[in-house]
Amino acid sequence: MTTWYEYIQRNAPVPEWPYPIRYGEETEIISDILIIGGGIAGCHAAISATRRGANVVVAERGMTKRSGSGGAGVDHWHAACTNPCSKVTPMEYTQGIIDCARGYTCGPARYIETTESWDTLLDLEKMGVQIRDVKDEFKGADFRDEKTRLMFAYDYKNRHIIRVWGYNIKVCLHNEMKRLGVKTYDRVMVTSLLTEGGKQGTRVIGATGVNTRTGEFYVFRAKATILSTGGGSRLWAFGPEYFGAGTMIDLNCCSNGNAIAWKAGAEFVMMEQTAAGRASFGYVPYGVANANNTWYGTPIVDANGKEVPWIDVFGREIKTKKARFMPTKGQKFMLGAGVGVSTYVDEFRLNDLVPDLPERIQKGEFVLPLYADLTRLTELERRVIFGMMVGNEGKTRIPVYEMYTRAGFNPDKDMLQAPVMLLEGYKSSNFWSGITDPTLRVLDGGGLLVDWDLRTSLEGLYAAGGSSLGNSPIFGVGCHNSAHITGRYTGRKAAAYVRTASEVLADRRQIEAEKARVYAPLTQHKNGIGWKEANYAIAKVMQDYCSKHKNENTLKLGMRLLKELNETELSSAYASNPHELGRLLECFSLVRTGELVMQASLARKASSAMMDFYRLDYPEVDSPEWRKFLPIRLENDKVKVRELPLDYHLRPPYAPTYEENYKLHCGQ
Ligand SMILES: Cc1cc2nc3c(=O)[nH]c(=O)nc-3n(C[C@H](O)[C@H](O)[C@H](O)COP(=O)(O)OP(=O)(O)OC[C@H]3O[C@@H](n4cnc5c(N)ncnc54)[C@H](O)[C@@H]3O)c2cc1C
């Protein structure tokens, strides 16, 4: 039989692999601190630790300058509670998040985030990120403070979310790393953590990696390791050819971090929490009419020019455009969109379009298609949305702002059409998400359990990151700002730790075993399946057996199928070059993460509305006895689960308040 590869080789030879092949060659790199993942959190951790005198190395799967979910930009910065205009204190904001998440969030990371958010933004300003209206383009706007020239989003009264010109934020971080002499290893995908004595559950002393261009093997030895590998895409939904520009999250962030920390024996929480998988099979993010997030406040009109009303959180119609940006009577402040919580309590929720828009369209009150009509806003509001925000937000500067402008779109006179879709798609004002298929889930608030040092349960291993439609290495964190802040904080903590930590030699047997695992796909028969087929199969198992509705049977069957897939098709899968090798190794990580999610789902014998977690065999929702974390880990490859109160971080050995714990641990 002729394989596809043989056919191509014979009839239409593909270009030669453009990089030197170095399979099996090993390079050892020794540093004080290893950072795994040079995204937002990883870069900021590297800068922070280097400034404190540590010798730092970054291993990044892509290209540090632009990689990760934050690599394409950011337009709004959350939780800047200590900026001179803010009317919200760090404790009020932290409590707001905890109330919205009903306690299922990372208290330490949340308090650190709100306390250091403004200082971190000032840090970035020094690195070259524009955070003020320095050219006075928006002078006189409701959302601008004339003295500081800061510009605020969503809640113009309380002023804790700052609009930023963040299209180049990653480039600025990268330049600062270069200035400080941080060593980065781009295109190196970390495949495992090294542990003391090669055993599960012991101190982390480095990692192994493979270069996805040359196939070279790396052994990183470090006294401390910071895991900052971003979120976990591709577990339920996979279809890169079909996603096209519609995908939101970086496809390189696909659970490698989860898999390697799980294998090393670190404790996770909330991995059973998933969310309906928006944003991959929809429309270009922020590229069609909508009134959400970057486009918050935009007037939506129907085909006859009739405007869709806005209501406040108590269902009262909002009469003026200005009032959309103000908390309503009975509300303290609005938290804003994308703060890493999946539900909001009314006290902190944003105003929105009427939630019964689908029914109103059905009855003929509004006629499709709908449009975003920016001409109905003041000139400053219009320009801050289409110009400043769409222009700096991730993935919008070139494909949306520049392309539309070049094609002639002018927000002063043109309207942008919303997709014409099933009516339920208009239930959320985020129209570009399209219709949500309930089987296509994404990981949500789960991640590594951390203490007040943001250290994991394993000595030597710290976690940093923010969420973006997928989990983060730290459980229950916010978004872009959280990634910077937790990176900055862990950089500080790891630098302090390595000052006294001893150096430990890596276990050669552990390295050899990993090397054999990593290179196995190169030696398989060419008939073996490729990484895409493997990824589709994994996603299908997750959709069928661990989706919205599940019970003990489906979860156990799902785990059996993943195991069989691992031992049969995946074990004989073939990689023809270092790129395919990297992608196949990611599939093994996806299987491991799938198992972790199913094990965590089995452990929670209850349903939880907050976690969007429903067990058909335990239908009681939110019973008080199940209001707890269930930390889960591997010990000698056996799953261990324990119970932990939601406020574990305020109980002994910790102090009883956020302020005291922060003072004791922050290290500044
Ligand atoms: C389009 C878009 C717009 C957004 N806009 C906003 C916004 O305006 N405001 C806001 O607050 N948030 C926003 N977010 C969310 C925000 O960008 C993320 O929270 C943030 O980027 C997370 O940072 P991180 O460092 O945790 O992960 P990332 O920035 O994703 O970095 C993770 C890095 O790890 C690398 N990596 C993964 N696995 C490995 C491995 N095995 N070995 C080596 N390296 C590895 C990846 O290549 C990547 O570079 C947006 C997200 C997207 C996708």
Q: Kindly report, residue by residue over 312-328, the tens digit of the pLDDT.
A: 999 999 999 999 999 99
Q: Is 336 in the pocket of ligand 1 (CB under 6 A)?
A: no
Q: Is 582 in the pocket of ligand 1 (CB under 6 A)?
A: no
Cβ atoms < 10 Å from Cβ of 363: 9
Per-residue pLDDT at 245: 65
The span from the CA of 474 to the CA of 449, in Å, is 7
Distance 453 CA to ligand 1 centre (A): 22
The span from the CA of 341 to the CA of 191, in Å, is 30
* DSSP states along 156-217: TTT--SEE-BGGGHHHHHHHHHHHHT-EEETTEEEEEEEEGGG-TTS-EEEEEEEETTT--E
Q: Is 67 in the pocket of ligand 1 (CB under 6 A)?
A: yes
Q: What are the residues whose beta carbons fall under 8 Å from the beta carbon of 409, sequence distance 6 or more?
A: 416
Closest protein CA for atom 21 of ligand 1: 70
3-class DSSP assignment, residue 380: helix
Cβ atoms < 10 Å from Cβ of 585: 24
CA 215 to chain centre: 27
Q: Is 468 in the pocket of ligand 1 (CB under 6 A)?
A: yes
Token output for 97? 């998040």
Res. 54: pLDDT tops 70: yes
The whole-model pTM stands at 0.96
The span from the CA of 439 to the CA of 298, in Å, is 31
* DSSP-assigned beta bridge partners for residue 349: none
Helix (H) or strand (E) holding 275: strand 274-276
Closest protein CA for atom 6 of ligand 1: 74
- Average model confidence (pLDDT) for the chain? 95
Distance 528 CA to ligand 1 centre (A): 32
Q: Which residue has the tokens 């709100």?
A: 114
* DSSP-assigned beta bridge partners for residue 443: 274
CA 331 to chain centre: 29
Per-residue pLDDT at 231: 87
Which residue type, as a one-letter code, is found at position 427? K
Q: Is 253 in the pocket of ligand 1 (CB under 6 A)?
A: yes
Q: How far is CA 154 from CA 348, 377, 504, in A?
A: 12, 15, 50
Rounded to the nearest 10 degrees, what angle do helices 578-603 and 508-519 cross at?
A: 110
User: What tens digit of pLDDT does each residue of 579-630 get?
Assistant: 999 999 999 999 999 999 999 999 999 999 999 999 999 999 999 999 999 9
- Residue 470: band (very low, low, confident or very high) from pLDDT cuts 50, 70, 90: confident
Q: What are the residues whose beta carbons fall under 8 Å from the beta carbon of 400, sequence distance 6 or more?
A: 284, 286, 287, 390
Per-residue pLDDT at 463: 98
User: What tens digit of pLDDT does each residue of 532-573 get?
Assistant: 999 999 999 999 999 988 999 999 999 999 999 999 999 999
User: What tens digit of pLDDT does each residue of 420-439 get?
Assistant: 999 999 999 999 988 878 88
Pairing of strands 371-372, 300-301: antiparallel
Distance 120 CA to ligand 1 centre (A): 17
Q: Is 255 in the pocket of ligand 1 (CB under 6 A)?
A: no
Q: How far is CA 371 from CA 241, 302, 366, 415, in A?
A: 28, 6, 11, 6
Res. 279: pLDDT tops 60: no
Ligand 1 nearest-atom number relative to CA 248:
53
Q: Is 467 in the pocket of ligand 1 (CB under 6 A)?
A: yes
- Residue 3: band (very low, low, confident or very high) from pLDDT cuts 50, 70, 90: confident
Per-residue pLDDT at 9: 78
CA angle (642, 647, 649) in 5-degree steps: 90
CA 489 to chain centre: 18
Cβ atoms < 10 Å from Cβ of 237: 22
Per-residue pLDDT at 13: 73
Task: Name the nearest CA neighbour of 639 among 271, 316, 324, 356.
Answer: 271
Can you name the CATH fold of 521-645? Methane Monooxygenase Hydroxylase; Chain G, domain 1 (1.20.58)
- Of residues 377 and 470, more confidence is placed in 377
DSSP type of residue 399: I
Q: Is 279 in the pocket of ligand 1 (CB under 6 A)?
A: no
User: Any idea which of 37-46, 436-445, 630-639 has the lowest mean pLDDT?
Assistant: 436-445
* DSSP-assigned beta bridge partners for residue 123: none
Q: Is 470 in the pocket of ligand 1 (CB under 6 A)?
A: no
Closest protein CA for atom 27 of ligand 1: 230
Q: Which of 13-27, 236-250, 287-301 has the highest mean pLDDT?
A: 287-301
Q: Is 394 in the pocket of ligand 1 (CB under 6 A)?
A: yes
- Of residues 343 and 130, more confidence is placed in 130
The span from the CA of 354 to the CA of 351, in Å, is 9
The span from the CA of 243 to the CA of 283, in Å, is 9
Check if the beta carbon of residue 470 is closer than 8 Å to that of residue 233.
yes
Own/partner pairs for 342-347, CB < 8 Å, 24+ apart? 342/101, 342/273, 342/275, 342/444, 342/445, 342/610, 342/612, 343/100, 343/101, 343/102, 343/609, 343/610, 344/100, 345/99, 345/100, 346/313, 346/314, 347/96, 347/99, 347/313
Per-residue pLDDT at 459: 98
Per-residue pLDDT at 4: 80
Residues of the chain with pLDDT > 70: what percent?
99
- Of residues 27 and 243, more confidence is placed in 27
The span from the CA of 614 to the CA of 150, in Å, is 43
For the chain, which residues make up each domain, given as ranges? 521-645
Distance 469 CA to ligand 1 centre (A): 10
* DSSP states along 649-665: GGSTTS-SSHHHHHHHH
Ligand 1 nearest-atom number relative to CA 479:
19
Token output for 582? 């990297």
Per-residue pLDDT at 435: 82
Q: Is 176 in the pocket of ligand 1 (CB under 6 A)?
A: no
Q: What are the residues whose beta carbons fall under 8 Å from the beta carbon of 442, sequence distance 6 or more?
A: 232, 233, 235, 236, 237, 249, 274, 275, 276, 277, 278, 469, 470
Distance 479 CA to ligand 1 centre (A): 9
Check if the beta carbon of residue 256 is closer than 8 Å to that of residue 589.
yes
Per-residue pLDDT at 278: 60
Choosing from 48, 57, 74 the residue with most ligand 1 atoms within 8 A of its CB, the one to mutate for a pocket test is 74
Rounded average pLDDT over 122-150: 98
Task: Name the nearest CA neighbour of 160 among 218, 91, 254, 244.
Answer: 91
Closest protein CA for atom 10 of ligand 1: 480
Distance 231 CA to ligand 1 centre (A): 7
Per-residue pLDDT at 368: 98
